[in-house]
Amino acid sequence: MATSTGTTEKTTQKPTVHRYVVLSDALVVTTGKKANGRPEYTRILRGGVLNGSAESETIKDLLHKRSIMKVTSREHLAEVQADLEDPLRSKHRQTVRKASQAMGAEDDPVEAPQSDIQPVAAPLPETSPDAILPDTE
């Protein structure tokens, strides 16, 4: 009669690693730790490739901000990188407008300022006797 030893195998699944292309001008990511315990950083320029898990909070945040884009194949990666080479004609490159829209900003920094938040005109003290002056007492 066979007896079981009571051990069960745990099936640990590694998270699937995907490739992402950088759409912003550059990203700074941590690559590990130095011997002194401080994080080691690297910069990935526009068009560079970033590997990571889709479950990673950093990857989710960068996707939400539209700083990176998931690529599905080598052909797709080559197509996006070729598009990013010419920043004036690129349809994938992250711009200030795209970044602010991704973050849900109500007032786009590219648009003209609203009349409610424009600065109040204050005349210089030497040109007007009615100018607002600081209290010097």
Residues 6+ apart with CB under 8 A from 101: 108
pLDDT score at 2:
53
pLDDT one-digit tens code per residue, 101-123: 777 766 555 555 555 655 666 55
Return the closest-CA partner of residue 69 out of 55, 57, 82, 81.
Answer: 81
pLDDT > 70? residue 130:
no
Return the closest-CA partner of residue 21 out of 97, 100, 94.
Answer: 94
Tell me the three state secondary structure of residue 133.
coil
pLDDT > 90? residue 79:
yes
Q: Structure pTM?
A: 0.61
The ranges assigned to domains in the chain are 17-106
Tell me the three state secondary structure of residue 121.
coil
The strand pairing partners of 52, in sequence order, are 18
